[in-house]
Amino acid sequence: KILIPSIMLLPTIWIIPTKQLWSSMLAYSLTISLTSLIWLKSTMASGWSFLNPYMATDPISAPLLALTCWLLPLMILASQHHTSSEPTNRQRTYITLLTSLQIFLILAFSAIELIMFYIMFEATLIPTLIIITRWGNQTERLNAGTYFLFYTLAGSLPLLIALLILQNNSGTLSLLTLQFSPSLQLTSFADKLWWAGCLLAFLVKMPLYGAHLWLP
């Protein structure tokens, strides 16, 4: 109900007349964000709602999904005056990147399979990197983009290895069935490194002090 309208935003951006571009995108994205409040109402006793074979929401992901949908109209409101002097194609490209960021985040936060979550989580790197390097306000935006790319890649590769180990040990990466698999005993030093690898990608994304050199 939310993902398909968000995807339909992409062709709409390039079809709509230039004079109506920002106002139409704002109205469209506000409609999506208001509809996303449905996610906050969880009705299933198991905690999962809006369940299908690939995506679902739970009490943790629902607020994150709603916040993701509300970010797009806020970013459009904040940046329309700054980018109004740019060529029309650059304005359309900018809104396309913001919309694709929203789509990737919706897929990441609602993913049931951990590997799908990983792919969508890292796919957000591409539009974010382009936005930083092309529309960054500071002269150091190219350095910031380079730091952002390498910090995120270096932090996420241990997470990928950790997910592959988890798949090998438990036989599944589905959040629905993973809770019923035998619990892993983190006893050895290698196991503790494996657990730290799971956390490292999220510490870089937060970003934690010491892992945020790209942010200033």
CB neighbour list of residue 113: distance below 8 Å, 6 or more residues apart: 54, 173, 174, 175
CB neighbour list of residue 175: distance below 8 Å, 6 or more residues apart: 112, 113, 114
pLDDT in tens, 132-179: 888 887 778 888 888 888 888 888 888 888 888 888 888 888 888 887
b/e string for 38-66 if b means 16 or more Cβ within 10 A? ebeeeeeeeebbbeeeebbbbeebbeebb
Amino acid at residue number 28: Y
Amino acid at residue number 54: Y
pLDDT in tens, 52-99: 888 888 888 889 999 999 999 999 999 888 888 889 999 999 999 999
The whole-chain average pLDDT of the chain stands at 86
For residue 10, pLDDT beyond 60: yes
For residue 43, pLDDT beyond 60: no
- Residue 184 is given by DSSP the state P
pLDDT in tens, 169-184: 888 888 888 878 777 7
- Name the residue with tokens 């983190």: 186
Task: Return d(Cα 127, Cα 98) in angstroms, integer.
Answer: 7
- Residue 3, both tokens: 């993902």
- Residue 96, both tokens: 């396309």
> Among candidates 109, 145, 150, which has minimal Cα distance to 130?
145
Is cis: bond before 63, omega within 30 of 0?
no
Task: Say if CB 59 and CB 46 are below 8 A apart.
Answer: no
- Residue 172 is given by DSSP the state -
